Amino acid sequence: MSSSSDNTGELIYRFLEQLWPYCRSITGDGVRQTLSDIQQHLQALKVLEIPSGTKALDWTVPDEWNIREAWVKDKKGQTIIDFSVNNLHVVGYSEPFSGKISKKDLLNHLFSLPDQPDLIPYVTSYYKRRWGFCVPYNMLRDFRDDEYEVYIDSDLEPGSLSIGEYVLKGETDKEIVFSTYCCHPSLANDQLSGVGLATYLAKWLSDKHRLKHTYRFLFLPEIIGSAAYLQKNADHLKKQVIAAFNLTCVGDNRMWSYLPSRSGNTLADKAILNLLKYNTAGYKAYTWNDRGSDESMFCAPGIDLPMVSLMRSKYGEFPEYHTSADTLGGTVTVEGLETTFNMFLKLINALENYAYPRALVFGEPQLGKRGLYPDLSIKGSTATVKHMLNVLSYSDGYHDIFDISNRSCIPVEQVLTQLNKLSEHRLVTLEPVNS
């Protein structure tokens, strides 16, 4: 399994440009259009529609929201806020409104960020009905008229919540889940990057002739989508899933971040920590207390799925987060997407080859007679076989490939290379004890 690419970052970036303009929310046609575009790459992607009012764990699927037009005009009839210019200008889930209102009333419906006065904030109100607009703080001083005309052409009525599900069957029923959310409008790192990465990882896997594990990709609205999906699928997932990853904030090239599962000691945690250790110059480790995304549902008590986030700059932590500055080119770069994609290929490669290797000979084997050891013993001549001997000596059936990597201080890819050589010579087996 080849584990690197040198142009997928570019392809993902172009795909994100295509998805960029849609006004996504937790329900509605923006999500459906996004899922339909993903189907251009993943024809077998199933779209599940879950009706408003359906129980979703402790939540209820809300009414569906769609918006066509929204603006504010001053007394001269000039449009001063326009949804068609930037979809962040409207509070997500704004109910319809049309009428003239005083400046004082309008200001009560405007949201801005005094600390980032030039940016439009991303604001939603899913569970309390209201309407509103989001503007740069610096724009507030331009509201000098005593009356304004407001128009929001939206629907907020029973419909459904859409989820994309793509399953690739492997040789075993044991599953690896990649989940991402597709509920933010035009925001690049906090969220579109995850959609692009998930699509291209699924596409890459779908080209493989042989997969050991079954892979499940989920494109769902954050939190409520997870709840709705788990309501139906938690029992199955609890039985089959060995590792799960929340794909979010994966497109900037600034740093690496790790957010653990609730228990912190799952295979997913172990794999990500190992990869970060050997493939990055450093990373920021967050704790479960820093969570803020779908892991809250997937790892909740009683569900306990092993979900971990490997991110670049974590949501909530980078200055452009949830503002109009989180753009393609502003936060998300081709290089960021490319390096993250390649890191996930390393992850998949390691998980596909996951094993507790066992030595097949008693005592340290004589490598020389198998052509694996230098036939002349002189100072320095055994340096090249050091890694092989280390890998072999940890192959006791109790250390998995990540333990062996950590103990022998080499990346897991190198462990796998050594194990391949050792198993060709029948010195180790990668098969489980009972098979």
Least separation in angstroms between CB 246 and Zn ion: 12
H or E stretch including 424?
helix 412-424
Considering only 188-196, 198-206, 229-237, 403-411, which stretch makes contact with Zn ion by CB under 5 A? 188-196
Rounded Cα distance between 150 and 99, Å, is: 6
Residue whose CB is less far from Zn ion, 175 or 190: 190
Q: What is the DSSP code string of 276-303?
A: HHHHSS--EEP-GGG--STHHHHTSTTT
Least separation in angstroms between CB 242 and Zn ion: 28
Least separation in angstroms between CB 351 and Zn ion: 27
Considering only 31-39, 65-73, 184-192, 234-242, which stretch makes contact with Zn ion by CB under 5 A? 184-192
**Do the strands 214-220 and 160-168 form a parallel or antiparallel pair, or are they unpaired?**
antiparallel
Residue 138's alpha-carbon distances to 107, 119, 141, 144, in angstroms, are: 13, 9, 6, 13
Tokens of 169: 């069957």
Residue whose CB is less far from Zn ion, 176 or 328: 328
Tokens of 108: 């009560």
Q: Which amino acid is at 330?
A: G
Considering only 29-37, 42-50, 111-119, 182-190, which stretch makes contact with Zn ion by CB under 5 A? 182-190
Helices 386-394/401-408 angle, 10° precision: 130
Least separation in angstroms between CB 144 and Zn ion: 34
Rounded Cα distance between 45 and 170, Å, is: 16
Which position has the token pair 């692009």? 196
Residue whose CB is less far from Zn ion, 133 or 321: 321
190 binds Zn ion (CB under 5 A): yes
Rounded Cα distance between 90 and 110, Å, is: 9
Residue whose CB is less far from Zn ion, 192 or 337: 192
Residue whose CB is less far from Zn ion, 245 or 402: 245
Least separation in angstroms between CB 171 and Zn ion: 36
320 binds Zn ion (CB under 5 A): no
Least separation in angstroms between CB 120 and Zn ion: 15
Residue whose CB is less far from Zn ion, 190 or 269: 190
Residue 244's alpha-carbon distances to 46, 180, 214, 337, 349, in angstroms, are: 19, 11, 12, 20, 15
Least separation in angstroms between CB 292 and Zn ion: 8
SS3 content of the chain, % helix, strand, coil (to 5): 35, 20, 45
Q: Tell me the number of residues near Zn ion by CB under 5 A.
A: 1
Closest-CB residue for Zn ion?
A: 190
Residue 30's alpha-carbon distances to 220, 304, 384, in angstroms, are: 12, 31, 56
Considering only 22-30, 187-195, 300-308, 381-389, which stretch makes contact with Zn ion by CB under 5 A? 187-195
294 binds Zn ion (CB under 5 A): no
Question: Considering only CA atoms, which of 246, 221, 245 is closest in space to residue 163?
Answer: 221
Q: How many CA atoms lie within 13 A of 78 on its CB side?
A: 6
Residue whose CB is less far from Zn ion, 292 or 374: 292
Considering only 83-91, 166-174, 183-191, 198-206, which stretch makes contact with Zn ion by CB under 5 A? 183-191
Least separation in angstroms between CB 247 and Zn ion: 13
Residue whose CB is less far from Zn ion, 87 or 274: 87
Tokens of 230: 């788990």
Write out the residues near Zn ion by the rule CB under 5 A.
190
